[in-house]
């Protein structure tokens, strides 16, 4: 529907697990030790594996064969901000990625497009890759305004943001109606939105950078539906919720992707 102006070479995939409010320090450590062991027998040439535990569980994890992500961040470096965690603190404990703008943060904790933008800037300043989440609610899709919604979210998140390398940030398209519901966008629905996001990125950063930024799909991704999604040209990986909490399911998805050609 929204075809990119040039032929895309599919970049290295990213498979990221967002654990949300699950797995305390002991369980997270044991899970990641088992994950690392499994990944030693998986070819990771065409895939980066990312795990996003709760803040409290990150320091006890030794990241081998995968990267650590936080689930949120505050944009100030320090100060009287009770309960918050800064990008420099995340950097100090080895975090390489950070999710921002997730729909649960927007809906439950009043995250705004402006604060997403501030968080993106703070993360980039500390050489942490933002995973910027965008996506429409079911009523917005039914009203046919899903492209307007995503355009506004992404434009606001990237306001005054410039990068020199496409690997500095990641976009995750997560239709709100598919998150944790068991519903999933059809591969073509996802691809249409990813094509649209690609065009927005090329307009903002130029084709050289915007054409290579990774765009992930998130929303009830499972071992059963990953094949249809990942076949699409503009889908460069997945941000996975529930299935990432189950080691066998997470490994199954990773192995499937690792066996694909870029």
102 is catalytic: yes
204 is catalytic: no
Q: pLDDT tens, 198-217? A: 999 999 999 999 999 999 99
Provide the pLDDT for residue 207: 96
Q: pLDDT tens, 65-98? A: 999 999 999 999 999 999 999 999 999 999 999 9
State if pTM tops 0.75: yes
Find the catalytic residue in 102, 140, 191, 202: 102
In sequence order, the 6+-apart residues with CB closer than 8 A to the CB of 116 are 100, 101, 132, 153, 156, 157
Element (H, E) at 17: strand 13-18
Band of residue 261 on the pLDDT scale cut at 50, 70, 90: low
What is the phi-psi region of residue 135: left when phi exceeds 0, alpha when psi lies from -120 to 50, beta otherwise? left
Of 89, 59, 57, the residue nearest 75 (C-alpha): 89
Contact 124, 163 (CB under 8 A): yes
| Pairing outcome for strands 67-70 and 47-52 | parallel
Average pLDDT in the chain: 94
Find the catalytic residue in 174, 191, 195, 202: 174
Higher-pLDDT residue of 2, 63: 63
Mean pLDDT of 112-117: 98
Provide the pLDDT for residue 180: 75
In sequence order, the 6+-apart residues with CB closer than 8 A to the CB of 54 are 19, 20, 21, 22, 23, 24, 28, 71
Mean pLDDT of 242-254: 97
Provide the pLDDT for residue 182: 77
Packing angle, helices 146-157 and 113-125, rounded to 10 = 40
Domains in the chain, please, with CATH? 13-258 (3.20.20.70)
Handedness of CA 134, 140, 142, 144 (dihedral sign): negative
Contact 200, 154 (CB under 8 A): yes
DSSP structure string for 108-176:
HH---HHHHHHHHHHHHHTT-EEEEEE---HHHHHTT-HHHHHHHHHHHHTTT---SSGGG-EEEE--G
262 has a pLDDT exceeding 80: no
Helix (H, G, I), strand (E, B) or coil at 237: strand
């Amino acid at each position: 529907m929204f075809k990119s102006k040039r032929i895309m070479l599919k970049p290295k995939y990213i498979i990221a697990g967002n654990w949300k409010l699950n797995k305390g320090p002991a369980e997270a450590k044991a899970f990641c030790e088992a994950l690392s062991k499994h990944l030693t027998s998986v070819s990771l040439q065409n895939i980066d594996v990312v795990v996003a535990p709760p803040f409290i569980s990150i320091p006890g994890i030794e990241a081998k064969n995968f990267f650590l992500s936080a689930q949120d961040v505050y944009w100030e470096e320090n100060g009287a901000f009770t309960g918050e965690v800064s990008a420099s603190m995340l950097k100090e404990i080895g975090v390489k990625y950070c999710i921002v703008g997730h729909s649960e943060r927007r809906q439950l904790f009043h995250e705004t497009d402006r604060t997403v933008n501030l968080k993106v800037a703070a993360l980039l300043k500390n050489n942490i890759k933002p995973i910027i989440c965008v996506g429409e609610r079911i009523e917005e899709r039914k009203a046919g305004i899903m492209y307007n919604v995503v355009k506004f979210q992404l434009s606001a998140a990237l306001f005054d943001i410039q990068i020199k390398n496409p690997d500095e940030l990641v976009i995750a398209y997560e239709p709100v109606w598919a998150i944790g519901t068991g519903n999933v966008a059809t591969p073509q629905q996802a691809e249409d939105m990813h094509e649209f996001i690609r065009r927005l990125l090329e307009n903002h950063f130029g084709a050289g950078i915007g054409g290579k930024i990774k765009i992930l799909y998130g929303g009830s991704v499972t071992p059963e539906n990953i094949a249809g999604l990942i076949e699409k040209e503009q889908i460069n990986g997945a941000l996975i919720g529930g299935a990432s909490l189950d080691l066998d399911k997470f490994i199954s998805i990773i192995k499937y992707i690792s066996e694909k050609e870029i």
